[in-house]
Structure 1
């Protein structure tokens, strides 16, 4: 079972996938008390990769209200480091499937491959402020609620590749399932059961 801080981050990430303002605010109020504020901000920032800028901006505005905290200072990272960091982090998340992922995404559109690695993994998921295991567990919780099984499959495996135990992924899946209708929760549970059986 995750500790209270991680559980709060997982619930917030799942709530972001609902697009329900009341659910998001409620989970932010819990996270304000139970989780590190910087980690909360990282969960919201990384969510833009999945829910888009409009919902992420709205979530940040809500967090400013709920937390009473001003925005942190701008990151002083060097963007020139993002491509190499992105390749390293993406390879860690995808493990043995990394080469196949890159080939498949290039087949969809070569620019998206670069955006995924440099922007998604280098600029965002590889940022300091939250460990990769927790990031992947939060991403999986969001994607379960967002109802995108292909991407959920990848990030459930990604959480395991990033060092999460099966029990930690179990806990993240159960948190996400709590935000879903019973039939949707059953689909997520079945997908995870299949991955778990083959792990």
Structure 2
């Protein structure tokens, strides 16, 4: 894991800037419960702002990985003296329709699909995920979406590719490039294979299928970029 971090944190020729990779790796390592590696990453961060942004990425995981992993990750960082509780503070929400920006012309369809399963589920997703977690101003929507893509690619949800594809296209709608999205997929897949010690062949086909659909739909999604 240390060698992987060394390579990713010094890789200059990549679509994703090093500071962006720091944030995405923070989210991924917390998601995979790799707390020692997470502390290793935070020890290399330069300055309070970098720690705050990476800490925010860990905090965002509460909506995608669950409270227990986030609590454990923040606790380990604080025990190691790498993240003071005061760094991650309540911040004003961005005055933006994040859900609409992410899903663009498909927003109503996505909402209707969720409401068809449960009105309560839609209310929680709308109020907690989009209006509370993803509207915090410390990370821009583009970076938050790239973190979400990384988590979905590195989780069992890859077996439900529609969700992953929706956020890959959502990242384009809030300003990411196709190259950046592909680099996030690479980063997530490499870390997942390290954590699991092998690559589950059953997951390769769905990811490739998602990438193929992504390439076809990307131009239209990028044209909806508003933020």
Q: Is the 8 A contact 1:28 1:66 kept in 2?
A: no
Q: Which has the higher contact order (CA 8 A, sep 6+)?
A: 1
2:189 to 163, 177, 183: 177
2:165 to 143, 149, 153: 153
Measure, in 2, the Cα distance between the counterparts of 1:143 and 1:33: 28
Q: Is the 8 A contact 1:15 1:27 kept in 2?
A: no
Which SS does the other structure have where 2:211 is aligned? Answer: helix
Q: Which residue of 1 aligns with 2:213?
A: 194
1:75 to 90, 101, 121: 90
Q: Is the 8 A contact 2:27 2:54 kept in 1?
A: no
Shift of 1:95: 0.8
| Alpha carbons of structure 1 residues 163 and 76: separation in structure 2 relative to 1, 3 Å | closer
Q: Which residue of 1 aligns with 2:107?
A: 98
TM-score, length-normalised on structure 1?
Answer: 0.85
Gap runs ≥5 in structure 1: none
Shift of 1:15: 2.1
Q: Is the 8 A contact 1:18 1:179 kept in 2?
A: no
Measure, in 2, the Cα distance between the counterparts of 1:130 and 1:2: 15
Superimposed CA distance per residue, residues 95-124 of structure 1 (whole angstroms, 9 cap, x where no aligned partner):
111001111111111011111111100101
1:39 to 53, 75, 80: 53
2:142 to 133, 147, 151: 133
2:119 to 94, 110, 114: 110
Measure, in 2, the Cα distance between the counterparts of 1:69 and 1:26: 12
The yes-or-no answer on 1:164 pairing with 2:176 is: yes
Query: More helix by proportion, 1 or 2?
Result: 1
Gap runs ≥5 in structure 2: 1-14, 194-198, 219-227
Measure, in 2, the Cα distance between the counterparts of 1:168 and 1:24: 22
Mark the structure with the bigger radius of gyration: 2
Q: Which residue of 2 aligns with 1:12?
A: 26
